Amino acid sequence: MSEQEKMIAGEPYYANRKELTTLRLEAQRLCFRYNQIDPKNHRERKGVIRGLFGKTGGLFCVEQPFYCDYGFNIEIGESFFSNYHLTILDCAPVKIGNNVMLGPSVSIYTAGHPIHHDIRNTGLEYALPVTIGDNVWIGGNVVINPNVTIGNNTVIGSGSVVTKDIPDNVIAVGNPCKVLRAITEEDRKFYFQDRQ
């Protein structure tokens, strides 16, 4: 099994092996190119993202700058929007559904390292997937850790650190991120946050 196959399968792997350093360098070059494109050149920007990501919908916007490890492990659905400074460490698959909005400086991490320093110092790593459902809004400066699923129709409050799965149809906030409350029919009445 190659290091890339181990990485994607969630098995321990060595990220410093040539096959993976070569793939990361190519992704870094594409990210650099993407981040240098004139923001008015939508066609070129979309072309680079389509070449970098494993799968895209037809309608998406990734504001510059954007950074990732490999790109090919990232899938986005229709009507995807990410604000400035999105970082995705996509050593494992990152699957994002339809109608997802990410605030500025969102970070999605699939990479992990052994706890004990002796093992960590060998360069051994692991990666676990992240899945984000449909109709999700993730606020600015949110960190999503490995092996997390965020359910459909959910809102993650700004500055949250998501360490465990979050269910469908809730507002979740905090560090660590926890469910604050369910999203209800009452929420249809409000365009913006209640100001008391």
Whether 64 and 39 have beta carbons less than 8 Å apart is answered as yes
Whether 96 and 73 have beta carbons less than 8 Å apart is answered as no
113 is catalytic: yes
Catalytic residue among 42, 85, 113, 117: 113
For every residue of 110-129, DSSP letters joined together read -EE--SSHHHHTTTEEEE--
- Pair of tokens at residue 165: 């799965």
Euclidean distance between CA atoms 99 and 78, whole angstroms? 6
50 C-beta neighbours (distance < 10 Å), count: 12
Catalytic residues: 113
